[in-house]
Structure 1
Amino acid sequence: MVCHLDAVLADRGLTLTELSRRTGITLANLSVLKTNKARAIRFSTLTGICEALDTSPAELFSIATQDGDLV
């Protein structure tokens, strides 16, 4: 899985700090997602991010093949 949080934030003209303020999710947790170091995400966290960014999980995540290509 590849997280595109940085691109979605850029498209919306928002910072990680603003997203944290809107969602109540810590900067540390959002940073882990943004840098693709997260191993899991709670549905409540995903829902909060999607609502704050007016987006869907499909825009936030994609699947990468073993050679790195996005599906």
Structure 2
Amino acid sequence: MKTTIYWAVQHSSLALHEFRFRATCWWLSQQVEFLEWQMRLETLMPAAQSDSMPSPVERGGRYAVQSL
């Protein structure tokens, strides 16, 4: 009886470990697939270049912060 319980516990633990390992492998493969898709998309449709410098806000403009 003790042997049967020990065997069942060991095998359920191994099965759980294998399930987690397979789930992690699947998740990583999905991440790689998404990154490959994103890289292909970027090569086909390069992003429009934007100004890296923000434009100055005029005093009293629509989004200007009012001084106290």
TM-score range (shorter-chain normalised) is: under 0.3
Of the two structures, which has the highest relative contact order with CA contacts closer than 8 Å and spacing of 6 or more?
1
Q: Normalized against structure 1, the TM-score is what?
A: 0.19
Looking at secondary structure, tell me which structure has more strand per residue: 1
